[in-house]
Homo-oligomer: A and B are copies of this chain.
Amino acid sequence: MTQLQRLVIAPQQHKQGKIFLTSSQQHYLSRVLRLKAGDRFIAMDGQGSWWVSELEASLTQAKILESLCVQTELPVTVTLMAALPKGNGFDDVVYQATELGVACIIPLKSDRTLLNPSPQKLERWRRLTQEAAEQCERPFVPTLLDPIDFTASLQLPETSNASRYICVARGDAPHLLSCLLEQKLASSPSSVVIAIGPEGGWTPVEVEQATGARFQPVSLGRRILRAVTAPILALSLASSVWETTQT
């Protein structure tokens, strides 16, 4: 069980046994993930290659230490941005999201989120990602970031090159499944970010902000789902679209 952070790179960033990092990747590794020179992470080219890499002193490039053979990981990096539900519901979300192959979980504080989790709670969620990864035979443990405000999450460098979706409960947005099938057909898989709202849904202002930040509004079907069920539906679709051979 390797607990290393993962980074999606473009295939051309990998040259002569090194990874040449973009400035937003440098920011993400050193500021968001707080990695230092000599720390390791996993670089993935989104085409099935995985490398254990070591950040060099310059912090602008990384040395490749070894290639990995990975069977139970998705060929695409899926990030779940989920508004925190009330009660202990997020425990199940974290566990099941890990079973479904999520790479990164970002707990969100939205306008209608009541919960402000304690450090103990975060510790517990990180322990659950480890337990779940072990149970479902994944070699990597998903990253669980500290909770951030929804508005700030829209600007995270990690998500800037991903296909981004925001799930909305009512209205006539296209279904997430259609969008994912189209995305898979149209491009080589790389990164997908899916944002799920709290009980009571996003506020109209939040949906507008997300749309402004290139999040596409999508539907998860005609029924009103709880905040603990919607992420599981969304991640079920993402993992299945990229693990099925037919499109």
Contact = CB atoms under 8 A, between A and B. Distances in A.
Interface residues of A, number: 38
Interface string A199-224: 00000000000000000000111111
A4 interface: no
A221 B239 contact: yes
- How many copies of this chain sit in the oligomeric assembly? 2
Contacts of A243: 175, 219, 221-222
Interface in A28-65: none
Given A136-B223, A137-B224, A223-B136, A240 B100 contact: no
Contact of A240 (B96, B182, B233, B245): B233
B99 A176 contact: no
Contacts of A246: 175, 177-178, 181-182
A229 B98 CA distance: 11
Given A96-B229, A175-B243, A232-B236, 14 more contacts: A96-B232, A99-B223, A99-B225, A100-B233, A136-B224, A174-B245, A175-B240, A175-B244, A177-B244, A178-B246, A219-B243, A220-B240, A221-B243, A232-B232
Interface of A: 71-72, 92, 96, 99-101, 135-138, 174-178, 181-182, 219-226, 229, 232-233, 236-237, 239-241, 243-246
